[in-house]
A and B are shown apart, each in its own frame.
Chain A
Amino acid sequence: MKISTRKLFAVALAVVTFGAAGFASAHHSFAMFDRSQEVVMNDMEVVRWAFNSPHVALYARDSDGQVWAFEGAAPASLVTRAPAMNGFTFQPGDMVDIIHCPLVDGRSGGAVGIVIKDGEWYGPNDGGCGAGGHRDAWRDWVSKGYMSLAEAMEAGEEMP
């Protein structure tokens, strides 16, 4: 779907009308991520959690041995989210499920939306992936076995 920049700014204007500026913007654009897709990856083994500015990065290995890289928001934002995250939240060897917005060009990476560890749902996302903004919907969709936003939509679910 193509949305004009002008319309985006008009939407942004409406958004900021109702809320103070937060941490919803990064230092770079999110053009490389496909924000229209939200994809579930189960049983990912954490190999590194880089908790540094400007973006945290989560590296995790899939069951085929392929390591994926996911970008999240700034540490300053993550320490005040619920649940809060810090530099030790994810450690090598942790098994997690990840919901992310993939890189447009199909390489092994994306923008992280949600990380599920030991039943806890974390939202380290930045503007590159909106999944963290509708965690409650994803709790429902995951319980129904959907592996992507597209699957959920095709099944008749509604975006919150």
Chain B
Amino acid sequence: MKLTTYLQLFTAGSSLLFSGMAFSQRGGNIPDLIPFPMEFETSTEHYDYLLDYYEGGVVHDYMSVPKWEGLWSAGGDSGIRGQTMFLDEDGEIIPGVLTPEYEDAFRYRLDLADQAYNAGVDFDRLTTCEPAGIPRWFMEPYVREFINTPTYSLWHNDLANDTRRIYINQEHVNIDGTHFAVGDSIGFWAEDEELGDILVVHTEDIYPGDFFRGTPPTSNQAETVEIWYEWWDAENDQMKVAVNVYFYDDLMLQEPLNLVYTYQYRQDMLDAGLRIRYWECAQNDNTYLTFDEEGRPMTQYRLPGEPGYVDPRGASQTRNPDLPPGLVGQEKNPVFDDAFDFEF
């Protein structure tokens, strides 16, 4: 029996009633949401259910493991950027989605942004080069790579060098006893009759974060169950990698969310010669958090020559202070050396 058929049988009468289905699918052509099979107390229970359903999954070798190499970028989602799960079409908070405390926090954030200069979201926690983390990792628009091996997957988002590691057929291990921006992820491969090869992932121990700037905060109780698969976008004649994310957060949400994200293969970027480079926080650091005269947070920008400015190319002010000053060849990039001597 197909997973989706199986799940649909379970969903009849489910009190969850596919929380995500309430949100129309927006943001480009995306696959249908895969509904919750039933109500689970925890994400671990949900993951274990899928592990049982797929009879432990399949073990791949290097030849058979699905190959998703190359460059990909965000290719549409179920309305996360537009906050369709939290705001109605008039921009008002949808009641009953967030817990009272997190709804209040969301309202506080929105009201603060309404007062700010641009009446937009005038501060973004990524300003200080903080990694996107989960769940924001799913929708960041920059370039990413998916490297799958039989024993683990490395999924790299070039934003802030934010890499997820998915340990295949393993248990959660957290010897540090702390949380992380992208949490700790385990998973198993399986064969679904309808979706083909799928990778089911469970992630826990995640920092508090957000879905995007200006969205409600997530808490340090956030956990995910994810179903990853290849999806052919026939309408756009385009291969995509899709993920159905079941987002659990008892402190933030009254019920778990059901979301879809997709990633489109970027042959055009490959053809242009683009390669993912190390995310250069020196550039990033020239924006910083500040406060206006009313004490409201906003983002400001340092210009060259101003205190704290970090040069994104050229001589570093902080590297190798134990070397003689003026040592030849120590600029980060030699291409435009002759342009570094300008005055601001």
Contacts and interface: CB of A to CB of B under 8 A. Distances in A.
A and B associate in one complex: yes
Interface of A: 2-10, 12-17, 19-25, 27-32, 35, 47-50, 52-55, 57, 59, 61, 67, 69, 71, 74-76, 79-80, 84, 86-87, 91-92, 103-104, 107-109
B268 interface: yes
Interface of A is mostly: loop
B277 A53 contact: yes
Given A13-B87, A16-B82, A27-B124, 16 more contacts: A5-B91, A5-B119, A9-B83, A10-B87, A10-B89, A13-B84, A15-B82, A17-B27, A24-B141, A27-B284, A29-B124, A32-B300, A35-B118, A52-B313, A54-B280, A76-B142
Interface residues of B, number: 73
Contact of B127 (A7, A28, A86, A104): A28
Contacts of A53: 142, 158-159, 277, 279-280, 283
Contacts of A108: 303, 344
Contacts of B312: 50, 52, 57
A109 B303 contact: yes
A92 B335 CA distance: 10
A13 B83 contact: yes
Nearest to A31: B122
A76 B343 contact: no
B203 interface: no
B113 A21 contact: no
Contact of A29 (B28, B127, B160, B279): B127
Contacts of B303: 69, 107-109
Interface stretch (B44-52, B69-77, B219-227): B69-77
B233 to A, nearest CB: 10
Contact of A5 (B120, B313, B314): B120
A29 B121 contact: yes
Contacts of A71: 301
Max chain B Cβ within 10 angstroms of own Cβ: one of A3, A28, A35, A49: A28
B61 interface: no
Interface of B: 26-29, 73-77, 79, 81-84, 87, 89-92, 110, 113-114, 116-124, 126-127, 139, 141-143, 158-160, 212-214, 264, 266, 268-269, 272-274, 277, 279-280, 283-284, 287, 298-301, 303-304, 312-314, 335-336, 338-340, 342-344
A47 B342 contact: yes
22 contacts: A3-B120, A5-B214, A7-B91, A10-B87, A17-B26, A17-B27, A19-B28, A22-B73, A25-B141, A25-B212, A29-B123, A29-B298, A31-B118, A35-B118, A47-B342, A52-B312, A53-B142, A54-B283, A69-B304, A79-B272, A80-B272, A109-B301
Contacts of B122: 29, 31
A86 B275 CA distance: 12
Nearest to A59: B304
A69 to B, nearest CB: 5
A12 B214 CA distance: 12
Contacts of A14: 82
B120 to A, nearest CB: 6
Contacts of B87: 6, 9-10, 13
Contacts of B73: 22-23, 76
B25 to A, nearest CB: 10
A20 B75 contact: yes
